[in-house]
Amino acid sequence: MNIKSKNVRTVPFYRQVADTIRARIIDGQYAMGECIPASIKLEKTFNVSNITMRKSLALLKDEGWIVTQRGIGTVVVRVAQDDIIDIKHSGLFTDWLNWASGKTQQVDQSIIDIVDDHGSVHVRALLGVDDEENVWRMRRLRSKSGEPISYHISYGTQESKKLIKVEDFQGSGSFIEMLQRKFPRKIIRIEQHVEAAVADMDIAGILHIEFGDPIFFMEHLYVDENEDVIAITHLHMRADRYRYSTSINLE
């Protein structure tokens, strides 16, 4: 699975138009409850055909941004503030945990599978496993209002496999809370790496987005008191549903 494809892609015109109208809604140019410009005017603005504009508006309707009301026009019915989840980095573990667990965002979680896996060269090197040893892999899907928003893949050594119980992840159960409760050694830190990426066909299918759509790719390394990486989580997060925010203290 190519999780960080950098191939140049051509975005269809109807997607470019839909993305621009969506951005205008998010920016407040088209406000909640107000009509967007008539289709014929938008066709001239974007210099596209009627067919292209119909496809653009149909996409935005399917996503729940707009509805057509007879005798009124096409009305904005969704605003981004209702849907965006903040990835907060304030320096406080509790703030980070609230985001990571989904406790404060009404996020649902489901386990796809927990299996033994050979793991990639990168994962095996971080975990320090021998060539003949398997790692375990757990896949989770998080959704909000029935819509997939992030896909998590965790890996660990056989030492921690016996700790993994499906019931620990029901509702908003988080991976780090489980490790803190059950792992025999203290987890002293999480190292986080963040990249801007695009969805490959596998990720797009799981998250119900288009191939090449922007996502956040995050790698979490869980480090114990011996300075060993005892588990890894790869997070693929829809860029239209998450916002990365931090606070920088200048004093």
Query: Where are the chain's structural domains?
Result: 13-79, 83-246
Domains 13-79 and 83-246 share a fold: no
Superfamily (CATH) of domain 83-246: Chorismate lyase-like (3.40.1410.10)
Q: Residue 171 — very low, low, confident or very high, per pLDDT cuts 50/70/90?
A: low
As a whole number, the mean pLDDT across the chain is 85
For residue 160, how many other CB atoms are within 10 A of its CB? 21
pLDDT at 129 over 60: yes
Average pLDDT score over residue span 21-47: 91
Q: Which of the two residues, 5 and 9, has the higher pLDDT score?
A: 9
Instruction: Say whether 166 sits in a helix, a strand or coil.
Output: helix
Whether 57 and 15 have beta carbons less than 8 Å apart is answered as: no
Q: Convert the pLDDT of each residue in 68-118 to its tens digit.
A: 999 999 999 987 655 677 666 656 666 666 666 666 667 888 999 999 999
pLDDT of residue 96: 61
Q: What confidence score (pLDDT) does residue 1 get? A: 44
Name every residue whose Cβ is closer than 8 Å to that of residue 176 and which is 6 or more positions away in sequence: 97, 100, 187, 190, 222
Q: What architecture (CATH level 2) is domain 13-79?
A: Orthogonal Bundle (1.10)
Q: What are the tens digits of pLDDT across the range 50-68?
A: 999 999 999 999 888 999 9
For position 166, what pLDDT does the model report? 81
Q: Is the pTM of this model over 0.95?
A: no
